[in-house]
């Protein structure tokens, strides 16, 4: 009898301990979720929240059990590791930050709670696909991948150059499972690939697709070696971001007269990360232009600055949406001792010049003087000219101006001196106009000074002096022996 009672007592204690532990875990996950996740994903996991009208892409609705980023085949739920990775690392370029403040146990509890929003989906655990070792990239493999890129119709969404500008991506029915319009990925911008940008990540995305989007799984339609070739080709499209604080403008005999002149591709460039204008209403939380590339050349008489950026759908304003646009900004007074103006359109004490271009006025540039975003004056001058073009998802705008305009009001561009500048870019398809735009911080350009003649003359003279001096000394020593 004692044994029976002891057994019952132990069973009750163990069950109570399990219940209390499970309740504590569930309570911790729910508490953390409600405190840090529900404001975007909703307290019931249905994404009905404070931010659903302001976020793009919108926060994930967990009740459908559909996860965009998985390591499991299409139709299977993500693994706990998949969800943990998203919570821990966040989604770059979205409102989902990396949650480094949580311990591993806390994230485990959050993941457990998130899965309770779609219990039927997680009834059976998903099994990750096998990635294996990627093949070594080669010209032949890239060529094969490029052929598959067209054959598998990737080009219809991602465009010929992989900039996400394919025609299919702009059809009315190009939406996710929640009915929200989305855009194809720009493969040339690895920092925008939220499922990872290395070859293994790309292979996984091609293999399992992106849940809830038109990006389907190719694991059944393409063999492993074909998916690897495709991944290697896509990897080869990625643009290397060249960051810095100043760009050197080299001197040339003549500035190219066309934006697509191959000579421009050989010119040193610098990339400017772009962010939304968040200082003044209307703020731009979801700008689509994430990077602007700048390069330049100068001659004895003029300066040319090229601004280049990706835009998945060009817009000249003819469809009722704002025209795509860009402006480059310089301080009114350029001096190494003068304080720089406020970086967005200056201020009353420190005005800025704007060289404004719009796709609706392709061959025209408007010169403006701004003392704030509310105080902008069009200048009746035509010192700056512009040429512009759009090809395969890429805008190029080249501004040209004389180094010295003859006007005392204009800033001079002198070789060897740093000139502050910044950029603002507008995506009309994203309804960006006015002050709703992507902006950069202040950067510098500097015209590389001509190399002084002494650099070419003095070293040979010194070498000759050393040679003949040594020769004379040698002869003198031999004569004394």
From the list 357, 340, 366, 367, the residue with the least C-alpha distance to 421 is: 340
From the list 68, 72, 113, 62, the residue with the least C-alpha distance to 86 is: 68
> Given this model, what pLDDT does residue 325 score?
98
Q: Which residue matches tokens 């004379």?
A: 472
DSSP string, 406-428: S-TTSPP--TTSEEEEEEEEE-G
The pLDDT tens digits of the residues spanning 337-374 come to: 667 899 899 999 999 999 999 999 978 999 999 999 99
Q: Which residue matches tokens 């790309």?
A: 202
pLDDT of residue 263 exceeding 80, the answer is yes
pLDDT of residue 11 exceeding 60, the answer is no
pTM above 0.75, yes or no: yes
Mean pLDDT of 96-114: 96
pLDDT, averaged across the chain: 90
> Given this model, what pLDDT does residue 95 score?
85
The pLDDT tens digits of the residues spanning 150-195 come to: 999 999 999 999 999 999 988 888 999 999 889 999 999 999 999 9
Q: Are 334 and 411 in contact (CB under 8 A)?
A: yes
Q: How many CA atoms lie within 13 A of 296 on its CB side?
A: 26
pLDDT of residue 8 exceeding 60, the answer is no
Q: How many CA atoms lie within 13 A of 392 on its CB side?
A: 10
- Name the E strands within 335-437: 352-358, 365-372, 375-378, 384-391, 394-402, 418-426
From the list 139, 183, 185, the residue with the least C-alpha distance to 161 is: 185
DSSP string, 220-248: TTS-HHHHHHHHHHHHHHPPPP---SEEE
> Given this model, what pLDDT does residue 170 score?
84
Q: Is 413 exposed, middle or buried (0-12, 13-18, 19+ CB in 10 A)?
A: buried
Count of positions (residues) in the chain: 481
């Amino acid at each position: 009898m004692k044994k029976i009672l002891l057994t019952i007592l132990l069973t009750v204690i163990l069950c109570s301990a399990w219940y209390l532990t499970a309740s504590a875990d569930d309570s911790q996950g729910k508490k953390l979720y409600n405190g840090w996740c529900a404001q975007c994903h909703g307290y019931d996991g249905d994404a009905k929240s404070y931010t659903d009208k302001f976020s793009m892409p919108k926060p994930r609705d967990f009740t459908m059990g559909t996860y965009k980023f998985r390591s499991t085949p299409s139709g299977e739920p993500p693994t706990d590791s998949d969800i943990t990775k998203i919570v821990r690392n966040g989604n770059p370029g979205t409102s989902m930050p990396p949650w480094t403040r949580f311990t591993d146990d806390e994230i485990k509890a959050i993941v457990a709670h998130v899965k309770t929003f779609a219990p039927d989906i997680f009834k059976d655990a998903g099994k990750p696909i096998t990635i294996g070792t990627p093949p070594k990239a080669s010209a032949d493999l890239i060529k094969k991948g490029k052929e598959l890129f067209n054959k598998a119709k990737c080009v219809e969404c991602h465009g010929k150059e992989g900039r996400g500008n394919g025609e299919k991506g702009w059809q009315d029915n190009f939406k996710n499972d929640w009915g929200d319009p989305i855009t194809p990925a720009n493969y040339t911008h690895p920092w925008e690939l939220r499922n990872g940008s290395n070859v293994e990540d790309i292979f996984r995305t091609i293999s399992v697709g992106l849940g809830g989007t038109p990006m389907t799984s190719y694991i059944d339609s393409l063999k492993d070696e074909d998916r690897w070739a495709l991944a290697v080709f896509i990897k080869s499209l990625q643009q290397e971001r060249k960051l810095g604080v100043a760009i050197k403008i080299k001197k040339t005999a003549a500035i190219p007269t066309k934006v697509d002149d191959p000579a421009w591709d050989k010119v040193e460039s610098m990339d400017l990360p772009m962010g939304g204008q968040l200082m003044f209403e209307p703020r731009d939380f979801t700008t689509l232009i994430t990077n602007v590339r700048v390069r330049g050349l100068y001659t004895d008489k003029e300066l040319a600055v090229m601004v280049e950026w990706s835009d998945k759908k060009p817009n000249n304003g003819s469809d009722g949406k704002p025209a795509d646009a860009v402006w480059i900004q310089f301080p009114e007074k350029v001096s190494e001792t003068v304080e720089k103006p406020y970086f967005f359109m200056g201020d009353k004490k420190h005005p800025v010049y704007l060289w404004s271009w719009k796709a609706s006025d392709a061959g025209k540039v408007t010169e403006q003087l701004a003392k704030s975003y509310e105080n902008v004056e069009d200048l009746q001058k035509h010192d700056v000219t512009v040429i512009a073009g759009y090809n395969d998802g890429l805008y190029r705008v080249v501004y040209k101006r004389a180094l010295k305009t003859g006007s005392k009001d204009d800033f001079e561009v002198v070789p060897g001196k740093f000139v502050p500048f910044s950029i603002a870019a507008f995506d009309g398809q994203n309804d960006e106009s006015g002050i709703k735009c992507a902006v950069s911080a202040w950067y510098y350009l500097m015209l590389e000074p001509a190399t002084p003649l002494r650099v070419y003359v003095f070293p040979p003279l010194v070498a000759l002096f050393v040679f003949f001096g040594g020769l004379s000394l040698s002869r003198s020593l031999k004569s004394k022996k």
